[in-house]
Amino acid sequence: MLITPEKNRRNKFRAVFLAGLTAVVGGVCGFFHYAAFGLVLLAPVVYWAARRRCLRRMAVMKKPFPTHWETMLKTNVAYYNALDDEGKERFRQLVKIVLDEVRITGIRTEVDDLCRLLVAASAVIPIFGFPDWEYARLGEVLIYPSAFGDGYRTDEAADPSVLGMVGVGHLSGVMILSKPDLLAGFANPSDKRNVGIHEFAHLVDRADGAIDGLPPGVSAEVVRPWIEWVGQELAEPPEGGSHINKYAYTNEAEYFAVLTEYLFEAPEVLQRKNPKMYEMLQSMFRQDTKSFLSGAVLSRRRVGRNSPCPCGSGKKYKKCCRRKARQGV
């Protein structure tokens, strides 16, 4: 998603090539049909279309990251706190792009900056190990006031038990998340439960066109052991208590998504209890989460109205990030 100078050069070359090709084809065809000269006039449009997303992302990346957003990440996203300075900067840039390109809409509930940031963090965390990841066909995230049931209803008659889902059919390109469960997923960073990460894991899985529990790009050394492992786990679910959420045993796709939550919430426990599983997931996501997430904490200290703002501006909190958060700056 991030635009480097090299990516910008490649994109510019591609845009010039396509525009030039359009003009040349139009010029050649023009000798035979007058209307073909329209292709020549179309060349600038082709150039702009090829450059549009790249230029937009470059503009977004140049925008400053709001100070109160930084404070919210520090106080709510343990993963962010565990990164070094370079990693934090990359995380912030990815968050800005996600928020620029994906609509986040509240359904009978308010969507504030914290909610939007946690959706973006949920998107960034699983793909942080991939330099060029793109979430295909995701246009909007709907935030519901609670869990939901059949027909996406939230009333008791619908038996609301679904915390999130990736839409299919007429809802293709849409994700639905329960707001309380999204917030709860980040409130306890080591409970192995995070509905935001869970649903974005399904999108990682779907990148090859199918949500089947096996994302694209998995090395040949991992594919067969993973398929065999999951097949055995689903064929013989553990009886009684298990350190893995029982929902994982629904099917291959849910097993992958649940274990993704585990990898990013309690990697040390996962590695200790299932070292082989941890090794396979580490290879899939290209992140050794145990090495940097163990001991990650949230900055939960209470900031008083007249205390120095945690963003480091030197101003009082009430005149800095607190005011910006209320104004939505």
Residue 21 placed within a domain: yes
Residues 138 and 212 in one domain: yes
Residues 95 and 201 in one domain: yes
For position 56, what pLDDT does the model report?
Answer: 96
Strand arrangement, sheet containing 164-166: 103-106, 140-144, 174-178, 164-166
What is the value of pTM for the model shown?
0.87
Residues 42 and 132 in one domain: no
Q: Considering only 91-95, 159-163, 190-194, 210-214, which range has the smallest mean pLDDT?
A: 159-163
DSSP bridge partners of 106: 143
For the segment 18-74, what is each residue's pLDDT rounded down to a tens digit?
988 887 776 666 545 555 555 667 888 899 999 999 999 999 999 999 999 999 999
Residues 14 and 53 in one domain: yes
Residue 324 placed within a domain: no
Residues 10 and 119 in one domain: no
Domain that holds residue 236: 67-293
For position 329, what pLDDT does the model report?
Answer: 40
Residue 325 placed within a domain: no
Q: Considering only 151-160, 192-201, 234-243, which range has the smallest mean pLDDT?
A: 151-160
Of 273, 269, 276, nearest to 225 (Cα)? 276
Residues 83 and 56 in one domain: no
Average pLDDT over residues 209-220: 91
Residues 116 and 259 in one domain: yes
* 292 pLDDT higher than 50: yes
Q: DSSP of 26-88, one letter per residue?
A: HHHHHTT-GGGGHHHHHHHHHHHHHHHHHHHHHHHHHSPPPHHHHHHHHHH-HHHHHS-HHHH
CATH of residue 177's domain is 3.40.390.10
Over pLDDT 90: what percentage of the chain? 65
CA pair distance 296, 175, nearest whole angstrom: 28
Residue 271 placed within a domain: yes
